Chain A
Amino acid sequence: MAGTARGLIEVQDFCLRYETMEGAVEAVSDVSLNVQPGEFVSIVGPSGCGKSTLLNALAGFLTPSGGTVTVDGEAISGPSADRGMIFQQYSLFPWKTVRENVEFGLKMSGVSRSERERRARTLLGLAGLTQFENHYPDRLSGGMKQRVGIVRALATGPRILLLDEPFGALDAQTRLIMQQILTNMWQRLKISVLFVTHDIDEAIFLSDRIYVMTARPGTIKSEIVVPLPRPREPSMTLSSEFLGLRRGLMSLIREESIRAMGGEVSLDSLKGLAINLEGQDLATVL
């Protein structure tokens, strides 16, 4: 976990097609992106654009139909504890206590019981979960479950962390706290993060860079650098810089969301509504 230059994610011309009764469908086409070691990068885009598909390929669950996906120059050949993943659904093992969940990855790599216990305790301490170490997951709140999930993924010392809308099911307050916890852990561990979300504010608040994806077939529409200084405070979400980024991203995403809905809604008919909404949003925020 030393801050060496590890965890370089490179995706080149990634394509994913699958066969259906009507023929081949292209879910993702020609995506190229990278995450530098220690960088926090988000992918935003309309639902169904293939954000999660890309993440699944990085995790090793999918083989690309075309292009290459590498971490530190090595092609991905299957799931591995080198690449931690956090899912939107809570994925703690219900039959294991909090500490046993955190120990799981270490157990799989053959770490001795006492060493496992020691490392899990340390990490749980850092995450403020010490008093819950012997609880079963069904006794925890949603936010706590995700916190344990993050600690569990980090326990094996992965090079990269992949997060698939991890806070989507949490309420706004909890989400804010989780974002700060994630930022803290990321800064401490200097790990590369690829974060998928449809929440624009979340992407800006967390990321160094943001990729915006188009509607299906998903491809990269644009790349935005977030120049906000760190450490970031929740109050920053009200700064003019943040709001400027937000406005830019929103218009990019809106175009794609409308495209994603197909011919059923015309751009013109939505224009008036969209301007109204935006005006109202800004008014309440300012």
Chain B
Amino acid sequence: MLGLVSLAVFIAVWQLLTVNHAIFYVRFTNVPSPEEVLARAILAAHNPVFGDHIWMSCRRILYGFTLASVVAIPLGLLMGRFRILREIVFPICEVTRPIPAIAWVPMAIMLWPTNEESIVFITFLGSFFPILINTLQGMATVDPVLVRAARCLGAKEASVFREVYLPASLPQIFTGLTVGMGVAWVSLIAAEMISGQFGIGYFTWEAYSLVQYSDIALGMITIGVLGLASSFAIRLLGRLAMPWGAAR
């Protein structure tokens, strides 16, 4: 309830500032008003091209993020279990991790034959490290008494891995997925703005070039909504995967 009120106030202030072309140090002269943005949104909703932009971005996120999960989760689990693998892979991670995904853009363009692939690659990189690091963290904090209990009940290595290490790490893995999803969007939008054709990041940047100021705000809001929806989807997935209530 209070949330709705605060949103209403935010929009009212935005309306007030833009309609009056307020100038403090920050200039609201060219900023579109909520009304104008709404009008553009209605127009865009009827335009299939706008839908294509959204679809392209979602597909890139889906590919990049899914790929990152499929690689980072098993890798993290194995690294957590086998010291030798951890000692081999960890130094490489530590060196490459501080490089922001956006800094990879020129390199990605050189590496991959198509633009599409390099954007997916950037998205992949952005979400890869948060997922890997959190999976590792999850493995490190598995309660040793549970492992011992499982062994006393006759569980062999593979069973201990599947029945204890994996479920015990799941809450931390999902933390990684949530963070990873956020970074995936940041990386995707940046990559689209720099090298994209299509995509909601490209749409937003193009709107600036074409002096379509209302579309800038529309693009921003759309990115926000998509980010919110995807982190909500992850949380929902977490609840389904962890019915014992660790997701709360």
Query: Does A91 reach chain B (CB closer than 8 Å)?
Result: yes
Pick the contact of A136: B143, B149, B156, B245 (CB < 8 A): B245
Query: Does A104 reach chain B (CB closer than 8 Å)?
Result: yes
Q: A91-B148, A108-B159 are in contact. Are A152 and B244 (CB under 8 A)?
A: no
Residue among A83, A95, A96 with the highest chain B CB neighbour number at 10 A: A95
Task: Closest A residue to B166 by CB, please name it.
Answer: A95
Query: Does A168 reach chain B (CB closer than 8 Å)?
Result: no
Task: Closest B residue to A95 by CB, please name it.
Answer: B167
Is the Cβ of A138 less than 8 Å from the Cβ of B153? no
Query: Does A81 reach chain B (CB closer than 8 Å)?
Result: yes
Is the Cβ of B146 less than 8 Å from the Cβ of A108? no
Q: Which positions 210-248 of chain B face chain A at CB distance < 8 Å?
A: 242-246
Is the Cβ of B153 less than 8 Å from the Cβ of A94? no
Is the Cβ of A95 less than 8 Å from the Cβ of B242? yes
Q: A87-B145, A94-B244, A94-B246 are in contact. Are A81 and B164 (CB under 8 A)?
A: no
Q: How many residues of B contact A (CB 8 A)?
A: 23
Is the Cβ of B145 less than 8 Å from the Cβ of A95? no
Q: How many residues of A contact B (CB 8 A)?
A: 26
Least Cβ distance of B169 to chain A in Å?
11
Is the Cβ of A156 less than 8 Å from the Cβ of B246? no
Least Cβ distance of B139 to chain A in Å?
15
Residues of B within 8 A of A96 (CB): 244
Pick the contact of A91: B149, B163, B170 (CB < 8 A): B149
Q: A91-B145, A95-B244, A95-B246 are in contact. Are A83 and B152 (CB under 8 A)?
A: yes
Is the Cβ of A89 less than 8 Å from the Cβ of B163? no
Bound-state CA distance A85–B145 (Å) is: 11
Q: A93-B163, A93-B167, A138-B244 are in contact. Are A105 and B153 (CB under 8 A)?
A: yes
Is the Cβ of A81 less than 8 Å from the Cβ of B152? yes
Residues of B within 8 A of A48 (CB): none
Is the Cβ of A79 less than 8 Å from the Cβ of B245? no
Is the Cβ of A156 less than 8 Å from the Cβ of B153? yes
Task: Closest A residue to B160 by CB, please name it.
Answer: A108
Residues of A within 8 A of B155 (CB): 104, 108
Query: Does B150 reach chain A (CB closer than 8 Å)?
Result: yes
Residues of B within 8 A of A91 (CB): 143, 145-146, 148-149
Is the Cβ of B246 less than 8 Å from the Cβ of A79? no
Is the Cβ of A93 less than 8 Å from the Cβ of B152? no
Binary contact readout A219-234 vs B (1 if CB under 8 angstroms, 0 otherwise): 0000000000000000
Pick the contact of A156: B143, B154, B167 (CB < 8 A): B154
Bound-state CA distance A87–B149 (Å) is: 8
Query: Does B151 reach chain A (CB closer than 8 Å)?
Result: yes
Task: Closest B residue to A109 by CB, please name it.
Answer: B154
Residues of A within 8 A of B153 (CB): 81, 84, 104-105, 108, 152-153, 156
Residues of B within 8 A of A95 (CB): 167-168, 170, 242, 244, 246
Residues of A within 8 A of B150 (CB): 93, 104, 108
Bound-state CA distance A109–B150 (Å) is: 12
Query: Does A59 reach chain B (CB closer than 8 Å)?
Result: yes
Residues of A within 8 A of B164 (CB): 93
Bound-state CA distance A217–B150 (Å) is: 30
Residues of B within 8 A of A109 (CB): 154
Task: Closest A residue to B152 by CB, please name it.
Answer: A85
Bound-state CA distance A85–B153 (Å) is: 8
Q: Which positions 9-67 of chain A face chain B at CB distance < 8 Å?
A: 59-61
Residue among A83, A84, A87, A108 with the highest chain B CB neighbour number at 10 A: A108
- Which residues on A are within 8 Å of B, measured CB to CB? 59-61, 78-81, 83-85, 87, 89, 91, 93-96, 104-105, 108-109, 136, 138, 152-153, 156
The 9 closest A-B pairs by CB, nearest first: A81-B154, A105-B153, A79-B151, A91-B149, A108-B154, A95-B167, A136-B244, A85-B152, A91-B145
Beyond contacts A153-B153, A156-B154: 14 other A-B pairs, Cβ-Cβ < 8 A, are A59-B148, A61-B148, A79-B154, A80-B152, A81-B152, A81-B153, A87-B145, A91-B146, A91-B148, A93-B149, A94-B246, A104-B163, A136-B243, A153-B152
